[in-house]
Amino acid sequence: MATFPDHLVVGRFAPSPTGALHTGSLVAAVGSYLMAKQGGGRWVLRLDDLDRSRQVPGMADDILRTLESFGLLWDGEVAFQSRHQDDYQHFFELLQQAGSIYPCSCSRKEIARSASAPHPGDEGVRYPGSCRDGKTGAAIRSWRVRAPEAEICFSDLRNGRYCQKLSAVSGDFVIRRGDGEFAYQLAVVVDDYLAGVNQVVRGDDLLSSTPRQIYLQKLLGLPQPDYCHLPLVTGPDGLKLSKRDHLISSQLGNVVGRERSLLFAVLHFLGQNPPAELAECPPAAILEWGATHFQLLHLPAHGGTLGI
């Protein structure tokens, strides 16, 4: 694990190289950068490249070049999830030894048929616990964490107190697939620990997954970062941007000349009220102003369009 002084904020940005960044990604990147840098902290970069089947060739480099064009310069070396398999295996074995996880042979179709009601979150339908008592078939399709009955609660820096009963929302959730690939929930917990991240700033769409990560931190005895979930950038229809919407990409050539206006718009979106003359400054100066003047209480309650 990376070690830093106790008072030093270590934030991070962790895009996935499955497509170009978009304006929603830029808001998350800038927000995490400003909150880390406002107190002289570090901002680290990780590429969440576990899902190899969805990666786009050349996209990792495009993300790095795009961030650089906005003056979003990270501290230290770029981390790659794909290089941490041994670390994931270590923590997986700790959970296994503690009896916190179990093998599951249920297919998605079987889970969907047995679920009492669909859940609209990122886990799909709630897992009913069919294999919890060791009634697995021959083929292991996943490894699942035993979800607690008690609520998992935390205080989000923007949204306030947030609680979730995992047993009722997601049920026992997956941390490893049957093919050996580790799932996002375990990987992100291990990655943040290894990098010494103590402040996670990201979009509101990931708020509902945070209790699962906090529960894993508790099981593994890992420190819990502070969390801040930012409002989402939406299209005119009010829906979250997809990987194809409002792209900003060095590779596509649609960033050059727009850096200042985009950064200025992001500061407005985050409720920071930058002075009009700042729009004419280079990206580094805009980010410096943002870090110096950032006010957590000014973050808006709701998202919307970026306004450019």
Burial class (CB in 10 A: 0-12, 13-18, 19+), 98: exposed
pLDDT surpasses 60 at 201: yes
Q: Which two tokens stand for residue 78?
A: 């770029």
Q: Terminal CA-to-CA distance of the chain, rounded, Å?
A: 41
The pLDDT value given to residue 185: 96
* Chosen CATH of 99-184 out of 3.40.1160.10, 3.40.50.970, 3.40.640.10, 3.90.800.10: 3.90.800.10
> CA of 104: how far to CAs of 57, 136, 223, 235, 295, in Å?
33, 6, 28, 39, 46
The pLDDT score that the predictor gives to residue 256 is 79
Is the whole-model pTM more than 0.85? yes
Q: Provide the 3-class DSSP secondary structure of residue 217.
A: helix
Q: Which pLDDT tens digit goes with each residue over 157-184? A: 999 999 999 999 999 999 999 899 999 9
By C-alpha distance, which of 297, 282, 292 is closest to 40?
292
- Residue 227 three-state SS: strand
CATH classification code of 10-84+186-298: 3.40.50.620
Q: Where are the domains of the chain?
A: 10-84+186-298, 99-184
Quick one: pLDDT at residue 120? Answer: 45
- The phi and psi torsions of 284 (rounded to 5 degrees) equal -60, -40
Q: Phi first, then psi: what are they for 113, rounded to 5°? A: -70, -35
